[in-house]
Chains A and B, each alone.
Chain A
Amino acid sequence: MSNILEFKDFGFKYDAQSSPTLFDINFSIKKGEKVLIAGPSGCGKSTLVHCMNGLVPFSYRGKMTGSLSLFDKETRDLSLFEISKHVGTVLQDSDAQFVGLTVAEDIAFALENDCIKEPRLHERVSEVAKLVNIQDFLDHAPSQLSGGQKQRVSLGGVLVDDVDLLIFDEPLANLDPKTGKQAIELIDELSKKTGVGVIIVEHRLEDVLHRHVDRVVIMDKGRIVTDTTPDELVSSDVLNEKGVREPLYIAAMKYAGIKVTPDLLPGSIDTVKIGDEESRLLKNWYEHAPKETIENNQDYLLDVRNLSFSYDGKRKALDNISIKVKSGEMLAIVGTNGAGKSTFSKVLCGFEKKDEGDIFYEGKDFSLLSIKERADEIGYVMQNPNQMISKVMIFDEVALGLRTRGVCEDEIKERVEETLKICGLWPFRNWPVAALSYGQKKRVTIASIMVLKPKVIILDEPTAGQDYRHYTEIMEFLSSLNKLGITVIMITHDMHLMLEYANRSVAFSKGRIIKDDECAKVLTDKETIDEASLKETSLYELCKKAGIEDATDFVRRFIAYEREVVRK
């Protein structure tokens, strides 16, 4: 079969930049093929996607070298609109891609631009709505939809065009684990049903490999490093070298001393063969792996009792929430969108007023304090650092909270500098915020909260959309704060994060707490996983295959091993 898209010795340099972003790209995709592209931030993935969908060079100007052809025609000789008839892109931010006022209008958008008339317009919209299973929500506004539904609408809006190639730009970034799993399944079904070529750009390798992928392309520094099958890829060391996270079961197998080779079919947890030798090695490692030492601190910092809250006076967004947080804990709050995680933190910080229940902080009634007073004890860091930064210079941004509290300039200088040192921002103290990377900006927002010396910080999705290196950087930083005695509460969708860094996780569902336990237990408990829209870890499946009965304990030791051995 012929190639849909083919890069030959392709390179690209943005007009605004001095050196090229892509070099020596040789890559092609055929109809019906499914390719995963991964690589660290700044490796050129996004530019490559822009080249494929035509935003380069039609919206982002620059110089192309070599050849990039779409059905044997050079894309530079086509127009953006001609390319978009063949290549559909589902953007990471499904809120931004949702440009219609309702589901139906959004799906119809491309047809409207093509001047498709009635009755074809309505017919085609309902056809496509069925294809992506959103037909019951046609008159819903985006605010009435979940993240997964919005993504399906985006997909529908692209599929109305009968495209030949679908590109998904980080499809998992804003979804909870279960919905993410479903998204990967839907993409797989669609590619089988329609025969389109699929390119998925995503750094959560393991989650994408949940369904069959023909090839994985790893990029680094503007070049393609490998282009091979998943089995070959996970058998090599490329992932670790290039800062892409290895699947957990592969890591566990490697720790156990198993030589991972392509003939074990290790590309997916569903296919990987665990024979007698592999089982023996895994069991042996499990028995000798260190047990985590759990420090028992009985000192309750925060005590929430029977908390209830409703936005509209009808539906309870929080329903009888009781939770105790010990000083020095690192706590993960998990659950699907709309389960009440963010609402809980908002009520805690005083952004919303509770309807019923009590909040005690160090034994005192916390609900009597104002937003500002609460912030001296519990700091809140929003997901997107850009939503918090309001000063041009880093120093001023970090100093803001102190200045509004009327602290004298000498003390401000001292405290800001101290905080900048703790947060690893000292070298940048005289920089404008805008010159920093996303991860560094995140640090600035954390620093601007830390400067007020709260004992607790709450972070909403601290690592969303970050590659493995930035993820590790942010999480190690939080961990170091935690070691200084700060209690850290993280709201997250990321199962890895909660396994690796949290001491405890609390699962929310429909405004209630359905589980409050150590992470290894939560993530191996079928019922909780289902209800809180989580996904069980591949380690669980690995244990089953290897005949290890106590999967929870295996997971526990795996985490301890990573914490104590690998990370040091």
Chain B
Amino acid sequence: MTNLFNYIDRKSKVHDLTGATKFVCLLLWSFAAMYTYDTRFLLALTALSLILFPLSKIRVKDVSFMLGFTAVFMILNNVLVYLFSPQHGTEIYGTCTYLFGLTGKYAPTKEQLFYHFNYFLKYLASIPVVILFVSTTNPSEFAASLNKIGVKYSIAYSVALALRYIPDVQKEYDEISKAQQARGIEMSKKATLINRIKSAAAILIPLILTSMDRVEIVSNAMELRGFGKNKKRTWYMGRPFKASDILAMAFCVLLVVIAALLNIINKSRFYNPFV
């Protein structure tokens, strides 16, 4: 398999779940983590996702490059939030407790730091499951999974085709770009911004035109082999649900329910320790 998304083929309880289950769980889990800002809940989710790693036999070093991206993204976002809205915490929690005896717009407050802590937790609670999903789901199974959870098979197959042609498009882009560079097309910082975008277009035009030819040939090939004949189709990579699948999904539904309940109890999406 092309390993664009860092799929790691191992035997584990998580690998054993069908792709459809994992996708549903990913959606529910992400939704739960997005839905509430309750600190206790986010902490619990984070702890849970950390348990899932050994359960999936995925080691930190397997996904370290992804964690790297995440860390940069997370820090950048936190800095931006602080720069733009140093009083955001105060607005949310309704109190203002300055720290270290400083005052003023950019002075740190307890509320602001608590907000950042929560913001940070929100990533921690939702990102590991994405990484887990990516590392334990065979891309081949992904399209079948989408169809299984009710996405129309034509759309599911678009997803499969995207996965299929990403490596081809990438290779073609690379070749075209080198050949155009030989003709003097420049995309580095030497050229002005507008020229850089124009250069990009000089590479994109052949890429897109050959891709359009490809659309024509591939759709012929698919029609000749009966794509679109019936209202349904089966999937070679599809698997039936087992008890563990139902259990996993039920658990994730429960997470969403808890998140909803917490929002009702807290009377807001935030858990507020300041009042």
Contacts and interface: CB of A to CB of B under 8 A. Distances in A.
Given a CB threshold of 8 Å, the question of whether A touches B is answered with: yes
Given A110-B225, A139-B1, A387-B172, A404 B184 contact: yes
Contacts of A437: none
B234 interface: yes
B233 A113 contact: yes
Interface in A288-329: none
A23 interface: no
A141 B218 contact: no
A174 to B, nearest CB: 13
Contacts of A99: 161, 164, 218, 221-222, 225
Contacts of A161: 225-226
B275 interface: no
A390 B234 contact: no
Nearest to A372: B184
Nearest to A54: B224
A58 B210 CA distance: 24
A375 interface: yes
A143 B217 contact: no
B24 interface: no
B225 A102 contact: no
A449 B181 CA distance: 12
Nearest to A108: B236
Contacts of B220: 55, 59, 91
Contacts of A110: 225-226
B234 A386 contact: no
Contact of B234 (A97, A116, A351, A404): A116
B161 A387 contact: no
B230 to A, nearest CB: 6
Nearest to A58: B223
A382 B177 CA distance: 12
Interface stretch (B37-45, B95-103, B201-209): B201-209
B186 interface: yes
Contact of B223 (A55, A101, A116): A55
Interface residues of B, number: 51
B225 A55 contact: no
B164 A101 contact: yes
Contact of B139 (A53, A101, A401): A101
A158 interface: yes
B176 interface: yes
A89 interface: yes
A84 interface: yes
A489 B167 CA distance: 29
B226 A81 contact: yes
B32 to A, nearest CB: 31
A388 B180 CA distance: 7
A389 B178 CA distance: 13
Given A91-B217, A95-B168, A99-B218, A113 B227 contact: yes
B214 interface: yes
A425 to B, nearest CB: 17
B254 interface: no
Contact of B224 (A55, A122, A141): A55
A374 interface: yes
A101 B163 contact: yes
B170 to A, nearest CB: 10
A435 to B, nearest CB: 14
A14 interface: no
Interface string A90-125: 010101111111101100111111111110011001
A448 interface: yes
A350 B214 CA distance: 28
Contacts of B235: 112
A400 B202 contact: yes
A386 B178 CA distance: 15
B161 A405 contact: no
Contacts of A401: 183-184
B184 A114 contact: no
Nearest to A101: B140
A391 B205 CA distance: 8
B225 A100 contact: no
B229 interface: yes
**Which residue, B182, B209, B213, B232, has most C-beta atoms of chain A within 10 A?**
B182
Interface string B157-190: 0001101100110001001101111111110000
B206 A102 contact: no
B2 interface: yes
A7 interface: no
A102 B235 CA distance: 13
A96 B224 contact: no
A344 interface: no
B206 A109 contact: no
A58 B234 CA distance: 25
A98 B217 CA distance: 11
A426 to B, nearest CB: 22
Most buried by A among B167, B168, B230, B236: B236
B237 interface: yes
B209 A405 contact: no
Interface in B226-251: 226-230, 232-237
B244 to A, nearest CB: 19
Contacts of B175: 351, 382, 387
Contacts of A88: 224
A83 to B, nearest CB: 9
A420 B106 CA distance: 67
A379 B183 CA distance: 9
Contacts of A212: none
Contact of A80 (B210, B218, B223, B236): B223
B140 A105 contact: yes
Contacts of A97: 217-218, 221
B162 to A, nearest CB: 10
A448 B180 CA distance: 11
A115 B163 contact: no
Contact of B206 (A91, A380, A388): A388
Contact of B183 (A100, A143, A400): A400
Nearest to B178: A351
B217 A93 contact: yes
A121 B184 CA distance: 52
Nearest to A158: B225
A114 to B, nearest CB: 6
B218 A121 contact: no
Nearest to B161: A99
Contacts of A69: none
B275 to A, nearest CB: 54
A114 B226 contact: yes
B235 to A, nearest CB: 6
B179 A380 contact: yes
A520 to B, nearest CB: 33
Contacts of A54: 224
B181 A371 contact: yes
Interface in A130-148: 139, 141-143
A40 B184 CA distance: 37
6 contacts: A81-B229, A112-B234, A161-B226, A346-B178, A386-B210, A388-B176
Interface of A: 53-55, 58-59, 80-81, 84, 88-89, 91, 93, 95-102, 104-105, 108-118, 121-122, 125, 139, 141-143, 157-158, 161, 346, 349-351, 371-372, 374-375, 379-380, 382, 384, 386-391, 400-401, 403-405, 448-449, 452
5 closest A-B pairs by beta carbon, nearest first, are A404-B184, A375-B182, A108-B236, A113-B226, A351-B178
Given A55-B224, A161-B225, A400-B184, 14 more contacts: A81-B229, A88-B224, A96-B218, A113-B233, A121-B234, A143-B2, A157-B225, A158-B225, A346-B178, A349-B182, A372-B183, A374-B182, A388-B176, A389-B205
